[in-house]
Chain A
Amino acid sequence: MKSYHLDHLDYLETEAIHIMREVASEFERPAILFSGGKDSICLLRLAEKSFRPSDIPMPFLNVATGHEFPELLEFRDRRAKELGAKLIVRTVDEALEKGIAVQAPGQISRNQLQIPVLLAAIEEYRFDACIGGARRDEEKARAKERFFSFRDSFGQWDPKNQRPEIWNLYNGRLNPDENMRVFPLSNWTEMDVWEYIKRENLEVPSIYFSHKRRCVRRSGQWVPNTDLMPAKPNEEVKEMIVRVRTIGDIISTGCVESPATTVDDIIAEIAAARVTERGSRADDKVSEAAMEDRKKAGYF
């Protein structure tokens, strides 16, 4: 007798495909949030598996801060083109100009500023569901997130009033102006993502692999030294062999010293890692409740 048994990646994959097809069936104007990062790369692969040989029946949306790694933007555009998908890009710069987003005095990171831009894009295109690559293992507030995360007409998340999700039955019903964020990778860990990238032989932006970069030491981590926020005279600058583990704004993304040049190297590195991936993101360190606050305000 044959063994009809799914290993953990197969299980996570079928769960995610089921969710993506539910979104395609139950929503009128869904979109996939695609940044070019490793999690959204997996989302696109899952979209192919869900909908081929048909076209992927939803556009890709990217909210760009304007502070991205150039490698990421090149990859994002190319990948969308390869898949024959429509890519919609809305930028923080544009939103600042139009007054949709307003910078706080002295605020340099644009992470917060993505929120009004995302909400404006949802309104502009009347998206009723946005599929994102967030995982529950990333962060404590994420651990309580549903697959179908309901947002009110202000785009807000209310952790105390979430819909129970039972078996594989997802309730996607909305009233006008309400919105759903959907996270098919909820049950994936950082390791699962890389194992899937390996198994599916997926291309990832080059900055995930080790490369030479001038970095500056800031609040306990090495970040790229850029013209956006050049090193001050008292800050230590060094040329290093680094890679990024998670991608945010170029000014706040921590670079880790690493010799990893292949996906296998990265998997080995994660297996031995002693800090979580978000440990290299300065935006989460502001306060212990940083992510919770951003999510309530309408963050991804």
Chain B
Amino acid sequence: MTASNHPIDLLRFNTCGSVDDGKSTLIGRLLYDSKSLMEDQIEALERSADITGGGQINLANLTDGLRAEREQGITIDVAYRYFATPRRKFIIADTPGHVQYTRNMVTGASTANLSIILIDARQGVIEQSRRHAIIASLLRIPHLVVAINKMDLVDWSHERFLEIQDQFEEFLPRLDIKDVKFIPVSALNGDNIVTASPHTPWYPGPTLLGHLETVHIASDWNLTNFRFPVQWVNRPNNPTDHSLHDFRGLSGQISGGVVKVGQKVMVLPSGFTSTVKQIWTINGPLEEAFSPQSVTLVLEHDLDISRGDVIVDASDLPGASNELQAKICWMAPRPLTEGRQFLLKHTTQTVKAVVTAIEDRINISTFDKETEVSELAMNDLGEVRIKTAKPLIYDGYATNRLTGSFILIEPGTNATVAAGMLLPPTEVARPEYKDFAI
């Protein structure tokens, strides 16, 4: 932990691995060796070592937080960990690799800049590794680290390392991942985690932490296309303060691009146009603001705008349609079949939706698309067609993670049953009221 007087970066990453890959041990090692652990945590570790571990400190105990997990010896949910070095702050989403918990992996990966896939050097690339790579690719995580673990158990064989690298690179061309780094490690012994290993003279570096500290985080945030889903209408209705009486602000988080005072904007779906009069914050007005800042916009004209409307640059319109194509990850025990109805939450609006067709399912062993599919089971990834009761104002997920993503909610149980990534729109938004101009 470090006190800083200058702004530092935040890197969010997730770890994925099968049950016995040593994922929790790896995180424990990162925390332990970067001196992010406190005396009482180390004490608790040592206490549990005496009771259950025969004297050996079990670094996995640091992250296997819930009692059920300690009993079963597996990680059952997404756990978040925090540590910092003088160079960066880190948020780890520790996601289980166990097959029925892919939904947690999607959850942890959805906000990550970087993903670490752990591979057991003895086993090489297995189905789990492929599944994780596909999810990282689908979710468009910009950076991937393949940590080849338990290298001590294969005598630090350079040959074995290269063999696994080849296995992995074989299917890489079919994925959308540009930046992949392979690192030979032993999480249990700490080799190449924080300090360079004496056992890998053939590996030039960097260590895992060294890489995490220096990897260039290509901005995850779209700074090109201004998009502002209205979240909350800010009307003080203050009878005593006249300056506030007429205040009508539109509060929300900028999901894409940059907005400036004086910029010409359009409100969708209505198509009303106006200009940005003020960017209001409690610390005073701003001249400009950018994604993902949370601000309150005041427009020149008093338009009828409510939650779910989207304010965009008038010269750069997103797509709009009530017929959508998307890749989804199905997360519920009951399989998805065609014709089922859901609630779809996209940016700040929730609409009724029906899945009209299941186009395909990705076979995660062969990467092939299986057509002729009648259902998607839990943890399946596939492409679907959806019809919504109201058009969505959206971008393709590849262009914008925030305006291109949605979740499906099952009516009744209110469970979140799918994560969806929209394909690029085929139709640009057209104002509802064509003749309306101010």
Contact partners of A166 in chain B: CB under 8 A: 106-107, 110, 405, 407, 416, 419
- Using a CB-CB cutoff of 8 Å, which residues 227-286 of chain A contact chain B? 267-268, 270-271, 273-276, 279
Contact partners of A48 in chain B: CB under 8 A: 282
Apart from A4-B223, A8-B10, A50-B294, list 4 A-B contacts with CB within 8 A.
A18-B231, A22-B348, A163-B415, A271-B1
How far is A202 from B249 in the complex, measured between Cα atoms in Å?
26
Binds B, one of A69-77, A90-98, A117-125, A168-176: A168-176
Whether B103 is near chain A, meaning CB under 8 Å from some CB there, is yes
Please give me the 6 A-B residue pairs with the lowest Cβ-Cβ distance, nearest first: A7-B7, A140-B65, A279-B40, A17-B294, A4-B290, A173-B414
Contact partners of A273 in chain B: CB under 8 A: 1, 38
Contact partners of B9 in chain A: CB under 8 A: 7-8
* Contact A8/B251 with A24-B232, A144-B79, A165-B107 known, Cβ cut-off 8 Å: no
Task: State whether B77 touches A162 (Cβ < 8 A).
Answer: yes
- Using a CB-CB cutoff of 8 Å, which residues 179-238 of chain B contact chain A? 219, 221, 223, 231-232, 234-238
Whether A82 is near chain B, meaning CB under 8 Å from some CB there, is no
How far is A55 from B402 in the complex, measured between Cα atoms in Å?
29
How far is A55 from B238 in the complex, measured between Cα atoms in Å?
9
Task: State whether B77 touches A187 (Cβ < 8 A).
Answer: no
Task: State whether A25 touches B232 (Cβ < 8 A).
Answer: yes
* Contact A53/B110 with A21-B251, A166-B407, A267-B3 known, Cβ cut-off 8 Å: no
Whether A159 is near chain B, meaning CB under 8 Å from some CB there, is yes
- Using a CB-CB cutoff of 8 Å, which residues 91-120 of chain B contact chain A? 91, 103-104, 106-107, 110-111
Contact partners of B104 in chain A: CB under 8 A: 164
Residue of B nearest to A51 (CB): B234
Instruction: Tell me how far the C-beta of A261 lies from the nearest C-beta in chain B, rounded to whole angstroms.
Output: 16
Task: State whether A187 touches B80 (Cβ < 8 A).
Answer: yes
* Contact A8/B65 with A136-B80, A167-B402, A168-B253 known, Cβ cut-off 8 Å: no
Instruction: Tell me how far the C-beta of A3 lies from the nearest C-beta in chain B, rounded to whole angstroms.
Output: 10
* Contact A270/B66 with A18-B294, A48-B282, A53-B244 known, Cβ cut-off 8 Å: no
Instruction: Tell me how far the C-beta of B426 lies from the nearest C-beta in chain A, rounded to whole angstroms.
Output: 23
18 CB < 8 A contacts A-B? A4-B219, A4-B221, A8-B10, A21-B294, A52-B282, A55-B236, A137-B81, A143-B79, A159-B77, A164-B416, A166-B107, A168-B402, A169-B405, A173-B343, A275-B39, A288-B44, A288-B67, A292-B65
* Contact A143/B294 with A53-B236, A54-B236 known, Cβ cut-off 8 Å: no
Contact partners of B78 in chain A: CB under 8 A: 144
Residue of B nearest to A45 (CB): B282
Residue of A nearest to B343 (CB): A173
Instruction: Tell me how far the C-beta of A159 lies from the nearest C-beta in chain B, rounded to whole angstroms.
Output: 6
* Contact A191/B3 with A167-B110, A174-B414, A175-B414 known, Cβ cut-off 8 Å: yes
Task: State whether A279 touches B38 (Cβ < 8 A).
Answer: yes
Contact partners of B331 in chain A: CB under 8 A: 164
Interface residues on A, range: 35 or more
Whether B293 is near chain A, meaning CB under 8 Å from some CB there, is yes
Instruction: Tell me how far the C-beta of A56 lies from the nearest C-beta in chain B, rounded to whole angstroms.
Output: 11
Contact partners of B103 in chain A: CB under 8 A: 164
Whether B89 is near chain A, meaning CB under 8 Å from some CB there, is yes
Whether B406 is near chain A, meaning CB under 8 Å from some CB there, is yes
How far is A190 from B194 in the complex, measured between Cα atoms in Å?
24
Instruction: Tell me how far the C-beta of A162 lies from the nearest C-beta in chain B, rounded to whole angstroms.
Output: 7
Instruction: Tell me how far the C-beta of A7 lies from the nearest C-beta in chain B, rounded to whole angstroms.
Output: 3
Interface residues on B, range: 35 or more
Contact of A14 among B219, B294, B416 (CB under 8 A): B294
For A97-132 the 0/1 string (1 means CB < 8 A from B) is 000000000000000000000000000000000000
Contact partners of B84 in chain A: CB under 8 A: 189, 191
Contact partners of B80 in chain A: CB under 8 A: 136, 143-144, 186-187
- Using a CB-CB cutoff of 8 Å, which residues 269-326 of chain B contact chain A? 280-282, 290-294, 307
Whether A85 is near chain B, meaning CB under 8 Å from some CB there, is no
Task: State whether A8 touches B2 (Cβ < 8 A).
Answer: no
Whether A214 is near chain B, meaning CB under 8 Å from some CB there, is no
- Using a CB-CB cutoff of 8 Å, which residues 31-85 of chain A contact chain B? 48-55
Which A residues have a C-beta under 8 Å from some C-beta of B? 4-15, 17-18, 21-22, 24-25, 48-55, 136-137, 140-141, 143-144, 159-160, 162-169, 171, 173-175, 186-187, 189, 191, 195, 267-268, 270-271, 273-276, 279, 288-289, 292
Instruction: Tell me how far the C-beta of B333 lies from the nearest C-beta in chain A, rounded to whole angstroms.
Output: 11
Instruction: Tell me how far the C-beta of A18 lies from the nearest C-beta in chain B, rounded to whole angstroms.
Output: 5
* Contact A141/B414 with A8-B9, A50-B251 known, Cβ cut-off 8 Å: no
Task: State whether A187 touches B82 (Cβ < 8 A).
Answer: yes
How far is A269 from B68 in the complex, measured between Cα atoms in Å?
35
How far is A24 from B230 in the complex, measured between Cα atoms in Å?
13
Contact partners of A164 in chain B: CB under 8 A: 103-104, 106-107, 331, 416, 419
Residue of A nearest to B346 (CB): A169
Instruction: Tell me how far the C-beta of A174 lies from the nearest C-beta in chain B, rounded to whole angstroms.
Output: 7
Contact partners of A292 in chain B: CB under 8 A: 65-67
Task: State whether B234 touches A54 (Cβ < 8 A).
Answer: yes
Contact of A171 among B77, B89, B409 (CB under 8 A): B409
How far is A173 from B79 in the complex, measured between Cα atoms in Å?
23
Contact partners of B143 in chain A: CB under 8 A: none
Whether B132 is near chain A, meaning CB under 8 Å from some CB there, is no
Contact partners of A7 in chain B: CB under 8 A: 7-10
Task: State whether A173 touches B77 (Cβ < 8 A).
Answer: no
Contact partners of A191 in chain B: CB under 8 A: 1, 3, 84
Contact partners of B82 in chain A: CB under 8 A: 136-137, 187, 189
Residue from B4, B48, B67, B294 whose CB has the most chain A CB atoms within 10 Å: B294
Task: State whether A25 touches B307 (Cβ < 8 A).
Answer: yes
For B108-138 the 0/1 string (1 means CB < 8 A from A) is 0011000000000000000000000000000
Contact partners of B374 in chain A: CB under 8 A: none
How far is A142 from B77 in the complex, measured between Cα atoms in Å?
12
Whether B268 is near chain A, meaning CB under 8 Å from some CB there, is no
Contact of B1 among A50, A173, A270, A288 (CB under 8 A): A270
Instruction: Tell me how far the C-beta of B129 lies from the nearest C-beta in chain A, rounded to whole angstroms.
Output: 22
Contact of B281 among A8, A12, A49, A268 (CB under 8 A): A49
Contact of B68 among A160, A165, A186 (CB under 8 A): A160
Instruction: Tell me how far the C-beta of A88 lies from the nearest C-beta in chain B, rounded to whole angstroms.
Output: 23
Residue of B nearest to A284 (CB): B40
How far is A166 from B343 in the complex, measured between Cα atoms in Å?
15
